[in-house]
């Protein structure tokens, strides 16, 4: 099923994403009653505009004359995200972008922004523990035997553990995650990730691996694990 982002939805999605990112930064996952370890404040760069690079949202499929219009303005279509009815355009200038915004079938033209929001990994915050059992526990069954379950107070706060034996655990559902990627070989992700649906949305790579959908930061794999895991290392909801 495809969904079209209207101007309102796009603005709302961007605002929601910004709010979620801010929540991730300002509200670290710390068990109630425990004092978090002191750490230096994160410094995130301000959003900067990317010179002469624009995101174009269409009301439906890309108009047949769109590429020709971009070319006539001296620009090029750098990338197409057809499932989202979006295109990335470069080289048209502010005047050309304004002209494209008035074209038939174009919903919104917005200048692309660059924001660095992922801090460098801090080795001092990493703990290693030895996993002695690797028995998978499928969603919809008791996952309390997972290695880190005793420390996952957040799952008990939302009563996820009480729903394990009462629901199918979302079996058969497809969940899409927009994050730092997913490690399909992780012990809790094995067999849960469709490699045909993995995709990177980074069009200007900065770090090795930016153009592949694998996870080099661990955040996306953790997010996926909270939704559905094999219940070996961590439990899922």
Cα–Cα distance measured from residue 233 to residue 130, given in angstroms and rounded to the nearest whole number: 10
Non-local CB neighbours of 103 within 8 Å, separated by 6+ positions: 63, 66, 69
Non-local CB neighbours of 106 within 8 Å, separated by 6+ positions: 56, 57, 58, 59, 63, 66, 100
pLDDT value of residue 16: 34
Residues in the chain, total: 237
Cα–Cα–Cα angle for 232, 180, 136, rounded to 5 degrees: 10
Which option is the CATH number for 7-27+45-114: 1.20.1270.10, 1.10.10.60, 3.30.420.40, 3.30.70.80?
A: 3.30.70.80
Non-local CB neighbours of 12 within 8 Å, separated by 6+ positions: none
pLDDT value of residue 2: 38
pTM score of the predicted model: 0.53
pLDDT tens, residue order, the chain (237 aa)? 333 333 443 333 333 333 333 334 334 444 445 444 444 444 545 666 677 899 999 999 999 999 999 999 999 999 998 888 999 999 999 999 999 999 999 999 999 887 766 666 677 766 666 766 677 777 678 888 888 888 889 888 988 888 887 777 777 888 989 888 899 989 899 888 998 888 888 877 777 778 888 888 788 999 999 888 888 888 887
**Are residues 53 and 204 in contact, defined by beta-carbon separation less than 8 angstroms?**
no
pLDDT value of residue 64: 93
Q: Where are the domains of the chain?
A: 7-27+45-114, 123-237
């Amino acid at each position: 099923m495809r969904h079209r982002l209207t101007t309102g939805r796009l603005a709302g999605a961007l605002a929601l994403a910004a709010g979620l990112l801010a929540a991730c930064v300002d509200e670290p996952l710390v068990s109630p009653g425990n004092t978090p370890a002191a750490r230096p404040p994160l410094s995130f760069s301000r959003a900067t505009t990317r010179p002469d690079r624009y995101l174009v949202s269409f009301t439906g499929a890309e108009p047949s004359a769109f590429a020709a219009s971009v070319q006539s303005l001296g620009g090029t279509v750098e990338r197409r995200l057809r499932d989202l009815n979006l295109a990335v355009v470069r080289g048209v200038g502010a005047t050309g972008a304004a002209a494209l915004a008035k074209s038939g079938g174009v919903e919104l033209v917005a200048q692309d922004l660059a924001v660095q929001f992922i801090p460098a990994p801090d080795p001092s915050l990493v703990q290693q523990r030895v996993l002695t059992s690797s028995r998978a526990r499928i969603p919809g069954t008791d996952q309390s035997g997972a290695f880190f379950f005793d420390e996952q107070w957040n799952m008990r706060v939302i009563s996820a553990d009480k729903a394990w034996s009462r629901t199918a655990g979302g079996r058969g559902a497809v969940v899409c995650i927009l994050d730092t990627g997913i490690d399909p070989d992780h012990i809790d992700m094995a067999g849960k990730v469709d490699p045909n649906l993995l995709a990177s949305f980074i069009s200007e790579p900065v770090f090795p691996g930016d153009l592949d959908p694998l996870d080099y930061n661990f955040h996306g794999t953790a997010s996926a694990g909270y939704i559905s895991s094999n219940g070996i290392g961590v439990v899922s909801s």
